Amino acid sequence: MLITCENVCFGYDDKRILENVSFTVNEGERIGLIGGNGEGKTTLLKLLTRDLLPDEGRILTKSNLKIGYLEQNGGFDSDKTVFEEMRSVFSRVFSAIGELRSLEHEMAKTPFGSREYAAIAARYERLNKLIAAEDGYNAEVKIRTVLGGMGFEKMHDQVINTMSGGEKTRLKLCRLLLEQPEILFLDEPTNHLDVSTLFWLEEYLQDYRGAVFTVSHDRYFLDKTVKKIFELENNRLTTFRGNYSKYKILKAEKYEYELKEYERQQEEIASLKEYIDKNIVRATTAKSAQSRVKKLENMTMLERPLPPPKPPVFSFTFGERSEELSLSVNGLTLEAGGKRLFTDAAFEVRRGEKFAVVGENGTGKSTLIRELLKKTHPAVKWGRFVKIGYYDQENANLDGEDTVLGALWFKHTALSQTQARNLLARAKLSEEDVDKKVKSLSGGERAKLSLVLLQAENANFLILDEPTNHLDLAARESLEAALRAFEGTLLFVSHDRYFIQNLADHVLEIENGRVTAFKGSYDEFNTRKKAQAARAEEAAAAAKKTAQTPSYRSKADRAEDARKKARLKEVEISISRTEEEIAALNGEIARPEVAADYKLLTEKCARLDELHALCDGLYKEYETLL
């Protein structure tokens, strides 16, 4: 057991957030915490990490539990470079390795049998055990693996204080992965990750030794990384075994079962009461009626199960249809900040098609959308009767000083106040919300308001830039359903792979300065990408082989090539044997009987110096031969 919650209650002011929450987190578990916006997910994480204390109940943790916590925007400041900061995770190990080398020289010079000698030998043994326990000799390999997987492969020398907020959050996650706490709390870890990094993180977490407790709205991520779902709803926590897809099935079954049990009990209660009313006053049946009274009194009354909260409802309609070829792009080249994003982009979008724009962060997805919206570039041609509706991920079309009702009503004056209020209510913006100023809304509420404004446009071509940001799972699924039913044309940017798979029938990829259109679903696109990568690998291997084997070589060239290959093999074998001997010698030197024999120890330390020098020379020769 790592953590146990017992009947935990918590609230802010007079509002109860959590009510009698109880659960246990065990070693190595993979848990996903889900719930609507404002249900208390982040609050629960802060209780578990001791940033908050419960109003009632208690939280028990394993003694000296090592916790790692990634907040939603939880980066850190440092004047170190990326690689220096990650190396500091293993500072104790690197320090131990350096001290070990010094001790080897000291032991060779210290008089055998002296107290100083015995202290050095004991210290040497302890350091060796520490390095072995923490797999210290592979520390730099681990650092490079994690930094590469998280997108920092070319940023090792960048100073952290010069990075963006999203990059700092990703870097904090890198550090946590390297620290390997016993339990890792992740609050929306996928927010700042592109698709390739998401795939890498999912695979890495599958092999992670500790427990992982994740808050996420990314359904693909939950399906890949968790085996238990904790759902917060109506202030209470319910546990479901399985990933997100399994949870959806189990939740529906649970509600149906509890509803049937409640209705069955209500029927039984009605039957008992009817019998009692008819027979309680009759002498011949009074006894049996009394037994039913007792049965009714002893019955544990079931509460009618609360139906799942109704999600927001969106609906996108339009009046006039556009012509068949809605958008044509031919020869579009874009730059941003002095950097060429892509060259000669060419693609067509036809009426009713749904295009997902994908690519790594910084490839130009949002820049492409902004250029299309300008309608000024000669390479961009819009079809006749196209009416564009645009969703901006920053909600820049909202004025913070407007009220919620005003933001909609003033832009769409043809709507009656009743119509405007109905649209807002369907998006789950309540009667209380409509008089709030926009600046006081949460991220999720602002997103819903922007989607309501988009609905009111009645556009036949929707362009959406990260529309699922800030939306909870229920709102995302409702938006998906509305966009699937939309008969117009759709072009959208999203990192939500579930959302892309459920909507897109075309994928527009920006990669390596090129824009490529693919007809088919997102899964089909990924399958094709994997096949292309495999073919490219094979072609690169073949090209390398061809380059290494020229079509014409003289007899002397062939002889020299054969000599190099033979020597390269010899050097590889020598390096392997030398490293094995070094490892074995380190183990022998740490043994008490060796440490007690001054002459033997001096010989082994001298031999260790020779081997390190030999190994350095072999590596230099190896690089030359390559």
Give the DSSP letter string of 519-575: ES-HHHHHHHHHHHHHHHHHHHHHHHHHHHS-S---HHHHHHHHHHHHHHHHHHHHH
Nearest alpha-carbon partner for 486 in 327, 314, 312, 357: 314
Higher pLDDT pick, 594 / 132: 132
What are residue 463's DSSP bridge partners?
A: 390, 491
Return mean pLDDT, the chain.
90
Q: How many CA atoms lie within 13 A of 94 on its CB side?
A: 10
- Give residue 530's pLDDT: 86
Strand order in the sheet with 325-336: 339-350, 325-336, 380-382
pTM, 2 dp: 0.79
Flag the least confident range among 342-356, 412-426, 480-494, 559-573: 559-573
CA 435 – CA 281 distance, rounded (Å): 60
Picking from 381, 366, 355, the residue whose alpha carbon sits closest to that of residue 517 is: 355
Q: What is the rounded distance in angstroms from the CA atom of residue 504 to the CA atom of residue 499?
A: 8
Give per-residue pLDDT as tens, 113-171.
Answer: 788 888 888 888 888 888 888 888 889 999 999 999 999 999 999 999 999 888 899 99
CA distance 603 to 606: 5
User: Terminus-to-terminus CA distance in the chain, angstroms?
Assistant: 52
Question: Span 325-532: which CATH code?
Answer: 3.40.50.300
| pLDDT tens string 63-119 | 999 999 999 877 778 999 999 999 999 999 999 988 888 888 888 888 877 888 888
Q: Is the pLDDT of residue 207 over 70?
A: yes
- Confidence at residue 395, expressed as pLDDT on a 0 to 100 scale: 85
Give CA–CA dist 408/448, Å, rounded: 12
What average pLDDT does this structure show over 262-288? 91
CA distance 354 to 499: 12
**Residue 144 C-alpha from the chain's centroid:** 20
**β-pair partners for 236:** 233
Highest mean pLDDT among 34-43, 315-324, 435-444, 604-613: 315-324
- 368 touches 438 (CB < 8 A): no
Task: Look at residue 550 and tell me whether its pLDDT is greater than 60.
Answer: no
Domain assignments of the chain as residue spans, ordered by start: 81-165, 249-298, 325-532, 555-625
pLDDT of residue 526 exceeding 80, the answer is yes
pLDDT at 573: 85
Question: Which of 39-48, 162-171, 542-551 has the highest average model confidence (pLDDT)?
Answer: 39-48
Give the model's pLDDT for residue 408: 94
Confidence of residue 592 (pLDDT cuts 50, 70, 90): low
78-92, 289-303, 597-611: segment of lowest average pLDDT: 597-611
Whether residue 31 is predicted with pLDDT greater than 90 in this model: the reply is: yes
Which residues lie below 8 Å from residue 293, measured CB to CB, with a gap of 6+? Answer: 276, 280
Per-residue pLDDT tens for 462-477? 999 999 988 999 999 9
Is the pLDDT at 543 greater than 80? The verdict is no
pLDDT: which is higher, 442 or 244: 244
Phi and psi angles of residue 342, each rounded to the nearest 5 degrees, phi first:
-160, 165
pLDDT reported for residue 335: 93
H or E stretch covering 511: strand 506-511
- Sign of the C-alpha dihedral, residues 429, 432, 436, 441? negative
pLDDT of 443 > 90? The answer is no
Is the pLDDT at 30 greater than 90? The verdict is: yes
pLDDT at 568: 82
Q: Worst-scoring range by mean pLDDT, 151-155, 172-176, 338-342, 600-604?
A: 600-604
Over residues 331-352, the pLDDT tens digits come to: 999 998 889 999 999 999 999 9
DSSP state of 51: S
Residue 253 has pLDDT above 80, yes or no: yes
CA atoms within a 13 Å half-sphere pointing along the CA-CB vector of 577: 8
How far is it, in rounded angstroms, from Cα 17 to Cα 9?
8
pLDDT classification of 309: cutoffs 50, 70, 90 = confident
Residue 75 CA to chain centroid, in angstroms? Answer: 15
Confidence of residue 382 (pLDDT cuts 50, 70, 90): very high
